[in-house]
Structure 1
Amino acid sequence: MKSPCIDICVFDGRTGWCKGCGRTKDEIRAWKKSQPHQQRRIESDLPRRLAKLTPMAKPIRPDQ
Protein backbone atom coordinates (compact mmCIF):
# COMPACT_ATOMS: atom_id res chain seq x y z
CA MET A 1 0.00 0.00 0.00
CA LYS A 2 1.29 3.45 -0.91
CA SER A 3 2.17 5.79 1.95
CA PRO A 4 -0.31 8.62 2.58
CA CYS A 5 2.63 11.03 3.07
CA ILE A 6 2.37 14.30 1.14
CA ASP A 7 5.77 15.65 2.26
CA ILE A 8 4.38 18.14 4.76
CA CYS A 9 5.85 16.79 7.99
CA VAL A 10 4.68 19.17 10.71
CA PHE A 11 3.28 17.66 13.88
CA ASP A 12 0.41 19.02 15.94
CA GLY A 13 1.60 19.38 19.53
CA ARG A 14 -1.81 18.59 20.98
CA THR A 15 -2.58 15.36 19.11
CA GLY A 16 0.83 14.22 17.86
CA TRP A 17 -0.58 13.81 14.35
CA CYS A 18 1.19 14.99 11.23
CA LYS A 19 -0.66 17.98 9.78
CA GLY A 20 0.03 16.68 6.27
CA CYS A 21 -1.04 13.04 6.44
CA GLY A 22 -2.58 12.57 9.91
CA ARG A 23 -0.28 9.79 11.12
CA THR A 24 1.79 9.73 14.30
CA LYS A 25 5.59 9.56 14.22
CA ASP A 26 5.44 5.91 15.30
CA GLU A 27 2.96 5.07 12.53
CA ILE A 28 5.17 6.81 9.97
CA ARG A 29 8.28 4.94 11.13
CA ALA A 30 6.50 1.57 11.09
CA TRP A 31 4.56 2.06 7.84
CA LYS A 32 6.76 0.03 5.47
CA LYS A 33 6.94 -2.91 7.89
CA SER A 34 3.23 -2.83 8.81
CA GLN A 35 0.85 -5.49 7.57
CA PRO A 36 -1.67 -4.37 4.91
CA HIS A 37 -4.59 -4.68 7.37
CA GLN A 38 -2.75 -2.37 9.81
CA GLN A 39 -2.11 0.17 7.05
CA ARG A 40 -5.77 0.07 5.98
CA ARG A 41 -6.91 0.60 9.59
CA ILE A 42 -4.66 3.64 9.97
CA GLU A 43 -5.58 5.01 6.56
CA SER A 44 -9.30 4.69 7.27
CA ASP A 45 -8.87 6.87 10.39
CA LEU A 46 -6.89 9.64 8.70
CA PRO A 47 -9.85 11.72 7.44
CA ARG A 48 -11.26 11.84 10.99
CA ARG A 49 -7.90 12.87 12.42
CA LEU A 50 -7.30 15.57 9.83
CA ALA A 51 -10.80 16.96 10.38
CA LYS A 52 -10.05 17.34 14.10
CA LEU A 53 -6.99 19.47 13.46
CA THR A 54 -7.53 23.22 13.40
CA PRO A 55 -8.57 24.68 10.03
CA MET A 56 -5.13 26.26 9.58
CA ALA A 57 -3.54 22.84 10.09
CA LYS A 58 -5.49 20.97 7.42
CA PRO A 59 -3.31 19.42 4.75
CA ILE A 60 -2.20 21.41 1.77
CA ARG A 61 -2.05 19.08 -1.19
CA PRO A 62 0.92 19.78 -3.47
CA ASP A 63 -1.38 19.47 -6.50
CA GLN A 64 -3.60 22.37 -5.36
Structure 2
Amino acid sequence: MSSAPPAPIKTPCIKVCAIDGESGLCLGCYRTLPEVAGWAKLTPERREALMAELPARRGRISPEKLGFV
Protein backbone atom coordinates (compact mmCIF):
# COMPACT_ATOMS: atom_id res chain seq x y z
CA MET A 1 0.00 0.00 0.00
CA SER A 2 1.38 3.40 -1.00
CA SER A 3 1.36 6.13 1.61
CA ALA A 4 2.60 8.92 -0.63
CA PRO A 5 1.61 12.38 0.60
CA PRO A 6 -1.11 14.16 -1.35
CA ALA A 7 -0.04 16.59 -4.05
CA PRO A 8 0.26 20.16 -2.77
CA ILE A 9 -2.59 22.52 -3.63
CA LYS A 10 -1.56 25.24 -6.06
CA THR A 11 -2.10 28.67 -4.51
CA PRO A 12 -1.41 32.31 -5.40
CA CYS A 13 -0.50 33.11 -1.78
CA ILE A 14 2.75 35.05 -1.39
CA LYS A 15 2.51 35.32 2.42
CA VAL A 16 1.42 38.98 2.34
CA CYS A 17 -1.94 38.57 4.04
CA ALA A 18 -3.73 41.88 4.47
CA ILE A 19 -7.22 42.68 3.24
CA ASP A 20 -7.83 46.06 1.63
CA GLY A 21 -10.96 47.58 3.19
CA GLU A 22 -12.05 49.35 0.00
CA SER A 23 -11.77 46.51 -2.50
CA GLY A 24 -12.08 43.56 -0.12
CA LEU A 25 -9.07 41.95 -1.77
CA CYS A 26 -5.88 40.59 -0.25
CA LEU A 27 -2.96 42.94 -0.97
CA GLY A 28 -0.72 39.94 -1.65
CA CYS A 29 -2.76 37.59 -3.83
CA TYR A 30 -5.88 39.63 -4.75
CA ARG A 31 -8.32 37.02 -3.44
CA THR A 32 -11.32 37.80 -1.25
CA LEU A 33 -11.55 36.46 2.31
CA PRO A 34 -14.14 33.82 1.31
CA GLU A 35 -11.86 32.71 -1.54
CA VAL A 36 -8.87 32.43 0.81
CA ALA A 37 -10.88 30.59 3.47
CA GLY A 38 -12.45 28.13 1.04
CA TRP A 39 -9.44 27.61 -1.24
CA ALA A 40 -8.72 24.03 -0.17
CA LYS A 41 -12.33 23.01 -0.81
CA LEU A 42 -12.39 24.28 -4.41
CA THR A 43 -11.86 21.92 -7.31
CA PRO A 44 -8.52 22.22 -9.08
CA GLU A 45 -10.40 23.58 -12.11
CA ARG A 46 -12.07 26.33 -10.07
CA ARG A 47 -8.75 27.25 -8.45
CA GLU A 48 -7.13 27.54 -11.90
CA ALA A 49 -10.01 29.72 -13.14
CA LEU A 50 -9.73 32.03 -10.13
CA MET A 51 -5.95 32.28 -10.48
CA ALA A 52 -6.43 33.37 -14.09
CA GLU A 53 -8.70 36.21 -12.87
CA LEU A 54 -6.39 37.49 -10.14
CA PRO A 55 -3.97 39.67 -12.17
CA ALA A 56 -6.88 41.76 -13.47
CA ARG A 57 -8.05 42.41 -9.90
CA ARG A 58 -4.85 44.28 -9.05
CA GLY A 59 -6.30 47.41 -10.65
CA ARG A 60 -9.09 47.45 -8.04
CA ILE A 61 -6.55 48.31 -5.32
CA SER A 62 -5.13 51.85 -5.00
CA PRO A 63 -1.50 51.79 -6.18
CA GLU A 64 -0.27 53.50 -3.00
CA LYS A 65 -1.57 50.55 -0.97
CA LEU A 66 0.57 48.23 -3.07
CA GLY A 67 3.69 50.33 -2.48
CA PHE A 68 4.06 51.65 -6.02
CA VAL A 69 3.73 55.36 -5.24
Instruction: Name the TM-score class by shorter chain.
Output: 0.7 to 0.9
Query: 2:44 & 2:32 partners in 1: Cα distance?
Result: 17
Query: 2:54 & 2:66 partners in 1: Cα distance?
Result: 11
Query: Under a length normalisation based on structure 1, what TM-score does the superposition of the two structures give?
Result: 0.79
Unaligned runs of at least 5 residues, structure 1? 60-64
Structure 1 segments, 4+ long, off by >4 Å, are none
CA positional deviation for 1:51:
2.4
Q: Is structure 2 residue 35 aligned with structure 1 residue 27?
A: yes
AA aligned to 1:22 is Y
Any conservation in 2 of the 1:51–1:58 contact (CA below 8 Å)?
Answer: no
Structure 2 residue aligned with 1:62 = none
Structure 2 residue aligned with 1:6 = 14
- Aligned pair count reads 59
Query: Under a length normalisation based on structure 2, what TM-score does the superposition of the two structures give?
Result: 0.74
CA positional deviation for 1:42:
1.0
Query: 2:46 & 2:22 partners in 1: Cα distance?
Result: 24
State percent identity of aligned pairs: 36
Aligned CA RMSD, in angstroms, stands at 1.5
The higher relative CO (CA closer than 8 Å, separation ≥ 6) is in 1
Q: Who wins on radius of gyration, i.e. which is larger?
A: 2
Query: 2:63 & 2:55 partners in 1: Cα distance?
Result: 13
CA positional deviation for 1:57:
2.6
Unaligned runs of at least 5 residues, structure 2? 1-8
